[in-house]
Every structure is written in structure tokens, then in C-alpha cells.
């Protein structure tokens, strides 16, 4: 007897539609503010945000397919780019660095100007993990915060910050959520799987988030648009993930044919030993 899979009650926040619904609408600003304040240092506390035109962040429609961007500014003039990355993509780090140049350049003033820039934060929520961390602690970390530093590890410039969240590395259970950020990461990662609201989410902000994410509250057109977007997300992610996996297999085959030892191949490709042995 085949058991029918339980229908989702809440949307998938890794879709463009779902991410915008929760964080990218005017009515969602309290949620975005709360999330960013949980992620950023205490001294960067945000009181209010204004959404800005995000079209400048992409050169074409094709360029935007793998990422959904939110671009906003707080009451102090600091800029925030929040990007959702659904699947691995070549030169993703370079892309986020390139995007950071737009909010820097737009601060230029006509005439005499002292170049006193406002801070820029680029936040990437990743539905995958980076493959280029050599030491084990970094490989398993969820939050990666990057600033410009000199050869001694001292911050050279503190107004440009990149924060990447590797969501697959987030493995905490409900009983292990200690911080506000823990709760947000748990919410984002498992939202589509919830059938009831966990007791850990008892405040007004999260009640609002669950309310906005509840599919039963969507109109017919909203639901249709979301379901089409969900299909695109799943098809795209499966295609890209398969391509990356196939590429790793090809590299592993070539290295094995060259007589490289399995431990080395595991380190280079990230593939498990059993898979490499069968090649």
C-alpha cells in the first residue's frame, strides 16, 4: 500500500516567491529587520529599512535565475544585499563581490566629496555548501563572516562585510536553539516541513512569519504562481546539482586512472570512499 506524502502547509523559503513573501515585501520589513539584527553584530542594530531598486544588481534576466536579491538601506544609510542561492554556481563568490560594488559606487557625490562611505553588507543564504574549505572546523560551520584583512589578520576596512550562511551545515534540533539566529535558521531550513508551529516560535515576529507563509491563506492566483515557482526551483536545483555531481565523478575517474590514492581523491572531490572505489 502506497502512503501519500503529506501536503505542505507552509511555503518553501528557498523559492524566489517564498523568499520574497517572507522577507521582501513592505509588510515583511519587521521580519527582515529581526533576521538581520540576529545575524549582524549588536552595534549594527537596525531600527528601520527602506527597500531599494534591486534591478541594478543583475545584468540580465538570465543572470538572475539562480539568485533572488533583496536590496535595502537602513536609517543610517547602510546598504544591505540579501541573496538566496538555490544551487551551486561557478564564480558565485566573485558574483557577490561584483554586486557589492553597486551600493559602493552609488554613494559617490557630485563635486567635492570626502569619500566617507556607509557600510555595505552582503548576505548570502546558501542551499549548498562550499567545497574549498581545507580545515574541518570551517567545513562544518554555518555562518562565514568575511572582511578585508591584512597579512596579520587585522581588519583593514570594516565597512564591507560578506556573510554566507551554509544552510546544509545547520543541524541543530529544536531543543538546541539558543540564539535568535538559531531560531531563524531553523525556521528557514525546516519551514516547508512544519505542520504545526513549534513551541519555540512563540513571539509576534515569528507568528507573523508563519502567517505569511501559510499556503491556505493564499489566493488562487498567488497559489498558482507559487506552485509554478516551486516547480522551477526543484527542476533547476536538480539539474544543477546533478551537473556538479557528474563533474565530480568525471574528475574522480580521471584521478583514479592516474593512480592517485583514494584519500587524495576524496579530499579533491568530496565524494565518499565507497563511490570512488566503484568507479
On whether both 183 and 95 belong to a single domain, the answer is yes
Beta bridge partners of 71: 81
| CA pair distance 256, 143, nearest whole angstrom | 34
pLDDT digits (tens, 9 = 90+) for 25-76: 999 999 999 999 999 977 678 999 999 876 654 455 544 433 447 999 999 9
Domain count within the chain: 2
Asked if 86 and 66 touch (Cβ cutoff 8 Å), the reply is yes
Q: Is the pLDDT of residue 266 over 70?
A: yes
Q: Which of 192, 217, 242 is the last residue of a domain?
A: 217
Structural domain range at position 121:
16-217
Non-local CB neighbours of 215 within 8 Å, separated by 6+ positions: 8, 9, 10, 11, 223, 226
What integer pLDDT is reported at residue 240 of this predicted model? 67
Percent of the chain residues topping a pLDDT of 90: 54
Q: 185 with 236, same domain?
A: no
Is 115 found in the same domain as 91?
A: yes
Q: What is the pLDDT of residues 168-182, one digit of tens each?
A: 999 999 999 999 999
Same domain, 212 and 262: no
Tell whether 252 and 128 lie within a shared domain. no
Domain end among 201, 217, 233: 217
The answer to whether residue 81 sits within a structural domain is: yes
199 and 238: one domain? no
Smallest Cα–Cα separation from 131: which of 241, 14, 273, 221?
241
Take residue 21 and report the three cell numbers written for it: 513573501
In a domain, 5, yes or no: no
- CA–chain centroid gap for 15, Å, is 11
**What DSSP letter does each residue of 152-169 carry, written as one string?**
TS-EEEEEEEEEEEEGGG
Report which of 119, 117, 19, 112 is spatially closest to residue 69, judged by C-alpha positions: 19
Please indicate, yes or no, whether residues 72 and 167 belong to a single structural domain of this protein: yes
Which residue, 217, 241, 258, sits at the end of a domain? 217
Q: Confirm whether 9 is domain-assigned.
A: no
Which pTM was predicted? 0.80
Regarding whether 238 and 126 lie in a shared domain, the answer is: no
Q: How far apart are CA 107 and CA 114, in angstroms?
A: 11
Identify the three-state secondary structure at position 273: helix
In a domain, 96, yes or no: yes
* Per-residue pLDDT reduced to its tens digit, 21-39: 999 999 999 999 999 999 9
My answer on whether 134 and 257 are in the same domain is no
In a domain, 10, yes or no: no
Query: How many helices, marked H, and strands, marked E, lie in the chain?
Result: 9, 6
Predicted local distance difference test score (pLDDT) of residue 257: 81
Considering the domain architecture, whether residues 272 and 144 belong to the same structural domain is answered as: no
In a domain, 151, yes or no: yes
Same domain, 114 and 241: no
Residue 275 pLDDT greater than 60, yes or no: yes
Same domain? For 88 and 175 the reply is: yes
Q: 165 - beta bridge partners?
A: 125, 143
CB under 8 Å to 8, separation ≥6 — which residues? 192, 193, 215
Between 128 and 218, the higher pLDDT residue? 218
Give the three-state DSSP class for 7: coil
Q: Assess if residue 267 is contained within a domain.
A: yes
Q: Is residue 252 helix, strand or coil?
A: helix
Instruction: Tell me what the mean pLDDT of segment 244-252 comes to.
Output: 73
Helices 220-257 and 262-269: crossing angle, nearest 10°?
150
Whether 50 is in a domain gets the answer yes
**How far is CA 1 from its chain centroid?**
39
Cα separation, 182 vs 198, in Å, equals: 14
Amino acid at each position: 500500500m502506497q502512503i501519500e506524502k503529506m501536503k505542505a502547509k507552509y511555503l518553501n523559503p528557498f523559492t524566489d516567491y517564498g523568499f520574497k513573501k517572507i522577507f521582501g515585501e513592505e509588510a515583511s520589513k519587521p521580519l527582515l529587520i529581526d533576521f538581520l539584527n540576529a545575524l549582524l553584530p549588536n552595534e549594527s542594530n537596525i531600527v528601520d529599512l527602506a527597500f531599494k531598486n534591486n534591478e541594478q544588481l543583475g545584468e540580465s534576466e538570465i543572470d538572475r535565475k539562480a539568485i533572488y536579491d533583496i536590496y535595502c538601506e537602513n536609517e543610517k544609510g547602510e546598504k544591505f544585499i540579501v541573496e538566496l542561492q538555490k544551487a551551486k554556481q561557478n564564480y558565485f563568490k566573485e558574483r557577490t563581490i561584483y554586486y557589492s560594488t553597486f551600493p559602493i559606487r552609488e554613494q559617490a557625490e557630485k563635486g567635492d566629496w570626502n569619500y566617507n562611505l556607509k557600510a555595505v553588507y552582503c548576505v548570502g543564504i546558501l542551499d549548498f555548501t562550499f567545497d574549498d574549505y581545507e580545515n574541518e572546523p570551517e567545513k562544518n560551520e554555518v555562518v562565514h563572516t568575511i572582511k578585508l584583512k591584512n597579512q596579520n589578520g587585522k581588519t583593514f576596512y570594516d565597512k564591507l562585510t560578506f556573510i554566507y550562511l551554509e544552510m546544509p551545515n545547520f543541524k541543530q534540533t529544536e531543543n538546541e536553539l539558543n540564539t535568535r539566529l538559531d531560531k531563524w535558521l531553523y525556521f528557514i531550513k525546516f519551514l516547508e516541513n512544519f505542520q504545526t508551529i513549534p513551541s519555540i516560535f512563540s513571539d509576534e515576529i515569528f507568528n507573523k512569519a508563519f502567517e505569511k507563509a501559510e499556503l491556505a491563506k493564499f489566493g488562487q492566483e498567488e497559489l498558482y504562481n507559487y506552485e509554478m515557482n516551486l516547480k522551477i526551483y526543484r527542476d533547476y536545483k536538480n539539474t544543477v546539482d546533478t551537473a556538479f555531481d557528474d563533474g565530480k565523478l568525471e574528475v574522480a575517474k580521471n584521478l583514479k586512472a592516474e593512480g592517485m590514492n583514494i584519500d587524495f581523491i576524496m579530499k579533491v572531490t568530496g565524494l565518499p570512499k565507497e563511490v570512488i572505489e566503484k568507479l
